[in-house]
């Protein structure tokens, strides 16, 4: 995933146990605070750890989330490639 490489760069050097605030998460995701809030509201971002009134995200959970997104994207592209090859093979027969 080309775009995620930029995001993952924001996590380089951070210990897996570091907790990110919402502004820090938005910074790592390279989105505005409002966009991060919308993503949270839609359930697109892993669930936070709640400490008192604060919601915090572990770096490790964000990394796992990126790994899952990358795996899903790779499977999606493989399916698209296979479908394209099937169509091209059918077209070659005609």
> pLDDT tens, 79-92?
999 999 999 988 88
* pTM for this entry: 0.72
> What is the β-pairing status of strands 19-20 and 54-58?
antiparallel
The reported pLDDT for the residue numbered 2 is 44
Encode pLDDT of 24-82 as tens digits: 999 988 999 999 999 999 999 999 999 999 999 999 999 999 889 899 999 999 999 99
Query: Under a CB-based contact definition with an 8 Å cutoff, are residues 62 and 30 in contact?
Result: no
The reported pLDDT for the residue numbered 83 is 95
The reported pLDDT for the residue numbered 7 is 54
Mean pLDDT of the chain: 88
Which domains, from first to last, does the chain contain?
2-93 (1.10.10)
- Whole-number Å distance between alpha carbons of 93 and 57: 53
């Amino acid at each position: 995933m080309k775009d995620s490489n930029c995001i993952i760069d924001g996590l380089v050097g951070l210990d897996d146990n570091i907790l990110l605030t919402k502004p820090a998460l938005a910074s790592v995701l390279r989105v505005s605070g409002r966009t991060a809030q919308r993503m949270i509201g839609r359930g697109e971002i892993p669930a936070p750890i709640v400490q008192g009134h604060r919601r915090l995200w572990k770096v490790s959970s964000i990394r796992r989330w990126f790994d899952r997104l990358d795996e899903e994207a790779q499977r999606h592209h493989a399916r698209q490639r296979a479908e394209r090859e099937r169509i091209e093979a059918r077209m070659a027969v005609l």
